[in-house]
Protein backbone atom coordinates (compact mmCIF):
# COMPACT_ATOMS: atom_id res chain seq x y z
CA UNK A 1 0.00 0.00 0.00
CA UNK A 2 0.89 3.64 -0.26
CA UNK A 3 -0.27 5.74 2.70
CA UNK A 4 -0.21 9.48 3.40
CA UNK A 5 -0.21 10.60 7.04
CA UNK A 6 -1.66 14.07 7.73
CA UNK A 7 -0.28 15.72 10.85
CA UNK A 8 -0.22 19.36 11.98
CA UNK A 9 3.51 19.38 12.65
CA UNK A 10 6.53 17.09 12.48
CA UNK A 11 8.32 19.12 15.18
CA UNK A 12 8.86 16.81 18.20
CA UNK A 13 9.16 19.79 20.57
CA UNK A 14 5.41 20.28 20.37
CA UNK A 15 4.66 16.78 21.61
CA UNK A 16 1.61 15.11 20.14
CA UNK A 17 1.49 12.11 17.82
CA UNK A 18 4.60 12.73 15.68
CA UNK A 19 6.78 10.18 17.50
CA UNK A 20 4.24 7.41 17.00
CA UNK A 21 3.62 8.42 13.38
CA UNK A 22 7.33 8.20 12.59
CA UNK A 23 7.62 4.76 14.19
CA UNK A 24 4.64 3.50 12.18
CA UNK A 25 6.16 5.02 9.05
CA UNK A 26 9.39 3.10 9.66
CA UNK A 27 7.47 -0.13 10.23
CA UNK A 28 5.38 0.32 7.07
CA UNK A 29 8.51 0.89 4.99
CA UNK A 30 10.10 -2.16 6.60
CA UNK A 31 7.07 -4.22 5.54
CA UNK A 32 7.50 -3.08 1.95
CA UNK A 33 4.87 -0.36 1.84
CA UNK A 34 5.22 3.33 0.91
CA UNK A 35 4.58 5.99 3.53
CA UNK A 36 4.76 9.79 3.42
CA UNK A 37 3.73 12.71 5.64
CA UNK A 38 1.86 15.93 4.94
CA UNK A 39 2.17 18.70 7.52
CA UNK A 40 1.37 22.37 8.08
CA UNK A 41 5.01 23.24 8.83
CA UNK A 42 7.11 25.82 7.08
CA UNK A 43 8.99 23.78 4.43
CA UNK A 44 12.21 25.60 5.34
CA UNK A 45 12.01 24.66 9.04
CA UNK A 46 14.68 22.51 10.66
CA UNK A 47 12.08 19.96 11.80
CA UNK A 48 11.07 19.32 8.19
CA UNK A 49 14.67 19.15 6.95
CA UNK A 50 15.63 16.72 9.71
CA UNK A 51 12.51 14.53 9.53
CA UNK A 52 13.46 10.92 8.67
CA UNK A 53 10.30 10.50 6.55
CA UNK A 54 9.34 12.21 3.27
CA UNK A 55 7.34 15.32 4.21
CA UNK A 56 5.11 17.52 2.08
CA UNK A 57 5.16 20.71 4.18
CA UNK A 58 2.43 23.12 3.07
CA UNK A 59 2.76 25.85 5.72
CA UNK A 60 3.37 28.02 7.43
CA UNK A 61 -0.13 28.86 8.50
CA UNK A 62 -0.93 32.26 9.97
CA UNK A 63 -3.38 30.86 12.52
CA UNK A 64 -3.21 28.39 15.40
CA UNK A 65 -5.88 26.36 13.59
CA UNK A 66 -3.41 25.71 10.80
CA UNK A 67 -5.53 26.98 7.92
CA UNK A 68 -3.92 27.12 4.50
CA UNK A 69 -5.75 26.67 1.19
CA UNK A 70 -2.82 24.66 -0.12
CA UNK A 71 -3.88 21.51 1.75
CA UNK A 72 -7.19 20.99 -0.05
CA UNK A 73 -5.64 21.92 -3.40
CA UNK A 74 -2.76 19.51 -2.86
CA UNK A 75 -5.00 16.64 -1.75
CA UNK A 76 -7.39 17.06 -4.66
CA UNK A 77 -4.48 16.97 -7.07
CA UNK A 78 -2.48 14.13 -5.54
CA UNK A 79 -4.75 11.93 -3.38
CA UNK A 80 -5.35 9.41 -6.16
CA UNK A 81 -1.69 8.47 -5.90
CA UNK A 82 -2.32 7.03 -2.41
CA UNK A 83 -4.31 4.02 -1.28
CA UNK A 84 -5.46 5.82 1.87
CA UNK A 85 -4.94 9.01 3.87
CA UNK A 86 -4.47 8.82 7.65
CA UNK A 87 -5.49 11.95 9.60
CA UNK A 88 -3.71 12.28 12.96
CA UNK A 89 -5.57 14.31 15.56
CA UNK A 90 -8.51 16.71 15.67
CA UNK A 91 -9.12 20.45 15.98
CA UNK A 92 -6.61 21.35 13.28
CA UNK A 93 -7.25 22.14 9.63
CA UNK A 94 -5.66 18.90 8.44
CA UNK A 95 -8.80 16.93 9.32
CA UNK A 96 -11.32 19.35 7.84
CA UNK A 97 -9.16 19.71 4.72
CA UNK A 98 -9.17 15.93 4.31
CA UNK A 99 -12.98 15.92 4.58
CA UNK A 100 -13.33 18.72 2.03
CA UNK A 101 -10.94 17.14 -0.44
CA UNK A 102 -11.71 13.44 -0.03
CA UNK A 103 -15.34 12.91 0.99
CA UNK A 104 -16.28 12.30 -2.66
CA UNK A 105 -12.89 10.92 -3.65
CA UNK A 106 -12.03 7.29 -4.45
CA UNK A 107 -9.20 7.62 -1.90
CA UNK A 108 -10.54 6.88 1.61
CA UNK A 109 -9.40 8.71 4.70
CA UNK A 110 -9.09 7.37 8.25
CA UNK A 111 -8.82 9.31 11.51
CA UNK A 112 -6.79 8.69 14.66
CA UNK A 113 -8.34 10.95 17.33
CA UNK A 114 -5.31 10.49 19.63
CA UNK A 115 -7.41 11.09 22.74
CA UNK A 116 -8.63 14.51 21.62
CA UNK A 117 -12.24 13.59 22.40
CA UNK A 118 -11.46 12.78 26.02
CA UNK A 119 -14.09 14.39 28.30
CA UNK A 120 -11.29 15.56 30.63
CA UNK A 121 -10.76 18.52 28.30
CA UNK A 122 -14.45 19.44 28.64
CA UNK A 123 -14.17 19.51 32.41
CA UNK A 124 -10.79 21.24 32.58
CA UNK A 125 -11.31 23.85 29.87
CA UNK A 126 -15.07 24.61 29.71
CA UNK A 127 -14.64 27.81 27.69
CA UNK A 128 -12.48 26.05 25.11
CA UNK A 129 -15.06 23.30 24.98
CA UNK A 130 -17.77 25.86 24.24
CA UNK A 131 -15.67 27.17 21.33
CA UNK A 132 -15.26 23.59 20.08
CA UNK A 133 -19.04 23.12 20.26
CA UNK A 134 -19.45 26.05 17.88
CA UNK A 135 -17.10 24.32 15.46
CA UNK A 136 -18.13 20.70 16.06
CA UNK A 137 -21.42 20.37 14.04
CA UNK A 138 -19.98 21.65 10.76
CA UNK A 139 -16.37 20.62 11.36
CA UNK A 140 -15.12 17.63 13.31
CA UNK A 141 -18.52 15.90 13.45
CA UNK A 142 -18.52 15.62 9.66
CA UNK A 143 -14.83 14.67 9.58
CA UNK A 144 -15.54 11.67 11.83
CA UNK A 145 -18.92 10.80 10.30
CA UNK A 146 -17.57 10.49 6.76
CA UNK A 147 -14.24 8.82 7.55
CA UNK A 148 -13.81 5.26 6.29
CA UNK A 149 -13.08 4.48 9.95
CA UNK A 150 -12.13 6.28 13.14
CA UNK A 151 -9.25 4.42 14.77
CA UNK A 152 -8.87 4.35 18.55
CA UNK A 153 -5.61 3.15 20.05
CA UNK A 154 -7.32 1.27 22.88
CA UNK A 155 -10.80 0.40 24.14
CA UNK A 156 -10.69 3.02 26.90
CA UNK A 157 -10.17 5.81 24.35
CA UNK A 158 -13.13 4.59 22.27
CA UNK A 159 -15.48 4.60 25.25
CA UNK A 160 -14.37 8.00 26.50
CA UNK A 161 -14.77 9.58 23.05
CA UNK A 162 -18.53 9.03 23.14
CA UNK A 163 -18.88 11.29 26.20
CA UNK A 164 -17.61 14.62 24.86
CA UNK A 165 -20.25 15.65 22.30
CA UNK A 166 -23.79 14.32 22.07
CA UNK A 167 -23.80 14.81 18.28
CA UNK A 168 -21.40 11.98 17.53
CA UNK A 169 -21.34 9.45 14.73
CA UNK A 170 -18.39 7.37 13.58
CA UNK A 171 -17.44 3.98 12.23
CA UNK A 172 -15.35 2.98 15.25
CA UNK A 173 -12.49 0.50 15.19
CA UNK A 174 -9.95 -0.26 17.91
CA UNK A 175 -6.41 -0.60 16.64
CA UNK A 176 -3.26 -0.29 18.69
CA UNK A 177 -0.23 1.96 18.94
CA UNK A 178 3.37 1.52 19.90
CA UNK A 179 7.00 1.99 19.08
CA UNK A 180 9.98 0.17 17.67
CA UNK A 181 12.61 -1.86 19.50
CA UNK A 182 15.06 0.41 21.32
CA UNK A 183 18.79 0.36 20.53
CA UNK A 184 20.36 -2.76 21.97
CA UNK A 185 23.56 -1.27 23.48
CA UNK A 186 22.00 -0.47 26.84
CA UNK A 187 25.30 -0.19 28.74
CA UNK A 188 26.81 2.34 26.33
CA UNK A 189 23.60 4.39 26.23
CA UNK A 190 23.40 4.42 30.02
CA UNK A 191 27.00 5.56 30.30
CA UNK A 192 26.46 8.37 27.78
CA UNK A 193 23.47 9.61 29.76
CA UNK A 194 25.31 9.44 33.09
CA UNK A 195 28.30 11.24 31.59
CA UNK A 196 25.95 14.13 30.72
CA UNK A 197 24.26 14.04 34.15
CA UNK A 198 26.94 12.70 36.53
CA UNK A 199 24.95 13.57 39.65
CA UNK A 200 22.77 10.53 38.85
CA UNK A 201 25.60 8.01 38.86
CA UNK A 202 25.02 5.35 41.52
CA UNK A 203 21.50 6.64 42.26
CA UNK A 204 18.03 5.17 41.80
CA UNK A 205 16.32 7.42 39.29
CA UNK A 206 12.58 7.91 38.97
CA UNK A 207 12.09 9.04 35.38
CA UNK A 208 9.45 11.34 33.96
CA UNK A 209 9.98 11.86 30.22
CA UNK A 210 7.64 13.89 28.05
CA UNK A 211 6.25 17.35 27.55
CA UNK A 212 5.94 19.17 30.88
CA UNK A 213 2.30 20.24 30.84
CA UNK A 214 -0.29 20.72 33.56
CA UNK A 215 -2.28 17.68 32.45
CA UNK A 216 0.73 15.41 33.00
CA UNK A 217 0.67 15.70 36.80
CA UNK A 218 4.21 16.98 37.25
CA UNK A 219 3.12 18.79 40.43
CA UNK A 220 1.84 15.50 41.87
CA UNK A 221 5.13 13.80 41.08
CA UNK A 222 7.26 16.52 42.70
CA UNK A 223 5.12 16.53 45.85
CA UNK A 224 4.96 12.72 46.02
CA UNK A 225 8.72 12.46 45.58
CA UNK A 226 9.19 14.83 48.51
CA UNK A 227 7.07 12.50 50.69
CA UNK A 228 9.19 9.41 49.96
CA UNK A 229 12.65 10.91 49.40
CA UNK A 230 13.53 11.27 53.08
CA UNK A 231 13.54 7.52 53.65
CA UNK A 232 15.46 6.82 50.40
CA UNK A 233 18.71 8.82 50.36
CA UNK A 234 19.86 7.37 47.02
CA UNK A 235 16.59 8.23 45.24
CA UNK A 236 16.54 10.94 42.56
CA UNK A 237 13.82 12.34 40.30
CA UNK A 238 14.58 13.06 36.64
CA UNK A 239 12.22 15.48 34.87
CA UNK A 240 13.05 15.14 31.18
CA UNK A 241 11.28 17.08 28.49
CA UNK A 242 10.42 20.49 27.09
CA UNK A 243 7.73 22.47 28.82
CA UNK A 244 5.96 25.74 29.39
CA UNK A 245 8.50 28.04 31.05
CA UNK A 246 6.06 29.34 33.64
CA UNK A 247 5.07 25.83 34.69
CA UNK A 248 8.69 24.63 34.88
CA UNK A 249 9.56 27.64 37.06
CA UNK A 250 6.58 26.88 39.28
CA UNK A 251 7.61 23.24 39.70
CA UNK A 252 11.22 24.18 40.46
CA UNK A 253 10.03 26.70 43.04
CA UNK A 254 7.86 24.03 44.64
CA UNK A 255 10.82 21.64 44.80
CA UNK A 256 12.87 24.36 46.49
CA UNK A 257 10.12 24.96 49.05
CA UNK A 258 10.02 21.23 49.80
CA UNK A 259 13.80 21.06 50.23
CA UNK A 260 14.35 18.57 47.40
CA UNK A 261 15.64 20.85 44.63
CA UNK A 262 19.11 19.27 44.80
CA UNK A 263 17.58 15.82 44.24
CA UNK A 264 15.76 16.66 40.99
CA UNK A 265 17.53 16.78 37.62
CA UNK A 266 15.87 18.86 34.89
CA UNK A 267 17.31 17.68 31.59
CA UNK A 268 15.26 19.57 29.04
CA UNK A 269 14.24 17.69 25.91
CA UNK A 270 16.09 14.43 25.31
CA UNK A 271 16.33 12.81 21.90
CA UNK A 272 18.17 9.92 20.29
CA UNK A 273 20.78 8.16 22.38
CA UNK A 274 20.33 10.43 25.39
CA UNK A 275 16.63 9.63 25.53
CA UNK A 276 17.24 5.88 25.41
CA UNK A 277 20.08 6.30 27.92
CA UNK A 278 17.64 7.96 30.31
CA UNK A 279 15.27 5.00 30.08
CA UNK A 280 18.05 2.48 30.62
CA UNK A 281 19.54 4.43 33.53
CA UNK A 282 16.18 4.75 35.28
CA UNK A 283 14.88 2.52 38.02
CA UNK A 284 11.25 3.05 37.00
CA UNK A 285 9.12 5.31 34.78
CA UNK A 286 6.46 7.62 36.28
CA UNK A 287 3.43 9.26 34.67
CA UNK A 288 0.70 10.46 37.09
CA UNK A 289 -1.19 12.16 34.25
CA UNK A 290 -4.70 13.59 34.55
CA UNK A 291 -5.32 12.71 30.89
CA UNK A 292 -3.23 10.60 28.57
CA UNK A 293 -4.58 8.88 25.51
CA UNK A 294 -1.76 6.41 25.09
CA UNK A 295 1.65 7.63 26.13
CA UNK A 296 4.40 6.64 23.71
CA UNK A 297 6.93 7.22 26.49
CA UNK A 298 5.14 4.58 28.58
CA UNK A 299 5.64 2.04 25.81
CA UNK A 300 9.26 3.13 25.29
CA UNK A 301 9.87 2.45 28.97
CA UNK A 302 8.33 -1.01 28.66
CA UNK A 303 10.52 -1.67 25.63
CA UNK A 304 13.56 -1.00 27.82
CA UNK A 305 12.27 -3.35 30.51
CA UNK A 306 11.25 -0.55 32.86
CA UNK A 307 8.06 -0.88 34.89
CA UNK A 308 5.68 2.08 34.81
CA UNK A 309 3.96 3.87 37.68
CA UNK A 310 0.78 5.30 36.18
CA UNK A 311 -2.43 7.04 37.04
CA UNK A 312 -5.68 5.45 35.99
CA UNK A 313 -6.17 8.33 33.55
CA UNK A 314 -3.51 6.92 31.21
CA UNK A 315 -5.78 5.05 28.82
CA UNK A 316 -3.64 1.90 28.60
CA UNK A 317 -3.52 1.47 32.38
CA UNK A 318 -5.70 -1.65 32.25
CA UNK A 319 -3.30 -3.38 29.87
CA UNK A 320 -0.31 -2.43 32.04
CA UNK A 321 -1.98 -3.66 35.21
CA UNK A 322 -3.21 -6.86 33.57
CA UNK A 323 0.31 -7.63 32.32
CA UNK A 324 1.88 -6.98 35.72
CA UNK A 325 4.11 -4.41 34.02
CA UNK A 326 3.53 -1.55 36.44
CA UNK A 327 1.57 -0.08 39.32
CA UNK A 328 -1.60 1.98 38.89
CA UNK A 329 -3.44 4.35 41.24
CA UNK A 330 -5.57 7.50 41.02
CA UNK A 331 -4.37 10.81 39.56
CA UNK A 332 -4.17 12.37 43.03
CA UNK A 333 -1.34 13.10 45.41
CA UNK A 334 -2.36 10.10 47.52
CA UNK A 335 -2.44 7.89 44.44
CA UNK A 336 0.95 9.09 43.22
CA UNK A 337 2.50 8.53 46.64
CA UNK A 338 0.96 5.06 46.69
CA UNK A 339 2.58 4.04 43.39
CA UNK A 340 6.01 5.22 44.59
CA UNK A 341 5.71 3.53 47.96
CA UNK A 342 4.52 0.24 46.46
CA UNK A 343 7.44 0.23 44.02
CA UNK A 344 10.01 1.05 46.70
CA UNK A 345 8.59 -1.67 48.97
CA UNK A 346 9.04 -4.46 46.39
CA UNK A 347 11.57 -7.16 47.16
CA UNK A 348 14.38 -7.40 44.56
CA UNK A 349 12.89 -10.57 43.06
CA UNK A 350 9.48 -8.90 42.73
CA UNK A 351 11.00 -5.85 41.03
CA UNK A 352 12.90 -8.10 38.62
CA UNK A 353 9.68 -9.99 37.80
CA UNK A 354 7.97 -6.69 36.98
CA UNK A 355 10.87 -5.71 34.70
CA UNK A 356 10.48 -9.00 32.84
CA UNK A 357 6.72 -8.41 32.59
CA UNK A 358 7.36 -4.92 31.16
CA UNK A 359 9.39 -6.34 28.25
CA UNK A 360 6.82 -9.06 27.68
CA UNK A 361 3.99 -6.52 27.61
CA UNK A 362 5.83 -4.46 25.00
CA UNK A 363 6.53 -7.43 22.75
CA UNK A 364 2.99 -8.79 22.92
CA UNK A 365 1.00 -5.55 22.68
CA UNK A 366 2.99 -2.54 21.56
CA UNK A 367 5.73 -3.60 19.13
CA UNK A 368 5.29 -1.25 16.20
CA UNK A 369 5.54 -3.93 13.52
CA UNK A 370 2.35 -5.47 14.89
CA UNK A 371 0.77 -2.01 15.09
CA UNK A 372 1.58 -1.30 11.43
CA UNK A 373 0.17 -4.63 10.30
CA UNK A 374 -3.04 -3.98 12.23
CA UNK A 375 -3.33 -0.55 10.58
CA UNK A 376 -2.99 -2.17 7.16
CA UNK A 377 -5.73 -4.68 8.05
CA UNK A 378 -8.02 -1.89 9.22
CA UNK A 379 -7.48 0.03 5.99
CA UNK A 380 -8.12 -3.08 3.88
CA UNK A 381 -11.22 -4.16 5.79
CA UNK A 382 -12.79 -0.69 5.70
CA UNK A 383 -11.90 0.06 2.08
CA UNK A 384 -12.86 -3.26 0.41
CA UNK A 385 -11.32 -2.39 -2.95
CA UNK A 386 -7.88 -2.41 -1.33
CA UNK A 387 -5.64 -5.38 -0.62
CA UNK A 388 -2.81 -4.96 1.88
CA UNK A 389 -0.77 -7.58 0.05
CA UNK A 390 -1.12 -5.88 -3.35
CA UNK A 391 1.62 -3.66 -4.82
CA UNK A 392 1.35 -0.03 -3.78
CA UNK A 393 0.51 2.78 -6.15
CA UNK A 394 3.38 4.26 -8.10
CA UNK A 395 5.83 6.32 -6.13
CA UNK A 396 5.81 10.05 -6.70
CA UNK A 397 8.92 12.16 -6.85
CA UNK A 398 9.85 14.70 -4.16
CA UNK A 399 7.43 17.32 -5.52
CA UNK A 400 4.45 15.04 -5.02
CA UNK A 401 4.03 14.56 -8.80
CA UNK A 402 4.29 11.32 -10.69
CA UNK A 403 7.49 11.01 -12.77
CA UNK A 404 7.06 11.96 -16.40
CA UNK A 405 5.56 9.27 -18.63
CA UNK A 406 3.83 7.45 -15.74
Q: Are residues 174 and 291 in the same domain?
A: no
Q: Are residues 230 and 162 in the same domain?
A: no
- Whether 18 maps to a domain, the answer reads yes
Q: How many CB atoms lie within 10 A of CB 364?
A: 11
Tens of pLDDT, residue by residue over 345-394, are 999 999 999 999 999 999 999 999 989 999 999 999 998 666 544 445 54
Q: Are residues 150 and 29 in the same domain?
A: yes
Predicted confidence at residue 168, as pLDDT, reads 93
Question: What CATH number did the domain enclosing 155 receive?
Answer: 3.40.50.2000
Which structural domain, as residue segments, surrounds residue 341?
A: 186-366
Question: Do 130 and 107 form a contact (C-beta atoms < 8 A)?
Answer: no
- Whether 403 maps to a domain, the answer reads no
- Whether 117 maps to a domain, the answer reads yes
- Whether 198 maps to a domain, the answer reads yes
Q: Are residues 159 and 200 in the same domain?
A: no
Tens of pLDDT, residue by residue over 165-215, are 988 999 999 988 888 899 989 999 999 999 999 999 999 999 999 999 999
Q: Are residues 168 and 190 in the same domain?
A: no
Q: Are residues 320 and 250 in the same domain?
A: yes
- Whether 59 maps to a domain, the answer reads yes
Q: Are residues 359 and 377 in the same domain?
A: no
Residue 179: φ, ψ to 5°: -150, 175
Q: How far apart are the first and last CA of the chain?
A: 18
Q: Are residues 126 and 201 in the same domain?
A: no
- Whether 61 maps to a domain, the answer reads yes
- Whether 389 maps to a domain, the answer reads no
Predicted confidence at residue 136, as pLDDT, reads 92
Question: Do 21 and 3 form a contact (C-beta atoms < 8 A)?
Answer: no
Q: Are residues 204 and 337 in the same domain?
A: yes
- Work out how many domains the chain is built from and give that number: 2
Tens of pLDDT, residue by residue over 230-267, are 999 999 999 999 988 999 999 999 999 999 999 999 99
Q: Are residues 278 and 288 in the same domain?
A: yes
Q: Are residues 11 and 131 in the same domain?
A: yes
What residues contact residue 389 under an 8 Å CB cut-off, 6+ apart?
none
356 beta partners: none
Under the banding of pLDDT at 50, 70 and 90, the label for residue 61 is confident
What residues contact residue 385 under an 8 Å CB cut-off, 6+ apart?
none
Q: Are residues 12 and 75 in the same domain?
A: yes
Amino acid sequence: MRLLHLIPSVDPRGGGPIEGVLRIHEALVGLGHDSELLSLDDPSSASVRECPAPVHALGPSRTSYGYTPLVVEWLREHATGYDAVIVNGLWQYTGFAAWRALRASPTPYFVYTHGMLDPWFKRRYPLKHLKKWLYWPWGEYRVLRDAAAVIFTCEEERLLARRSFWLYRAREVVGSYGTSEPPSDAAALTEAFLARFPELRGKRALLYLGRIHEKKGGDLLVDAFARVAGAEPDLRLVMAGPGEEALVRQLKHRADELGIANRITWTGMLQGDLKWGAFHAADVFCLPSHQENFGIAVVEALACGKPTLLSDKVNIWREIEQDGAGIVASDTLAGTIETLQRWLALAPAEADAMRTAARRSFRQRFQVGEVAEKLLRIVSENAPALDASAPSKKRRNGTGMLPEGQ
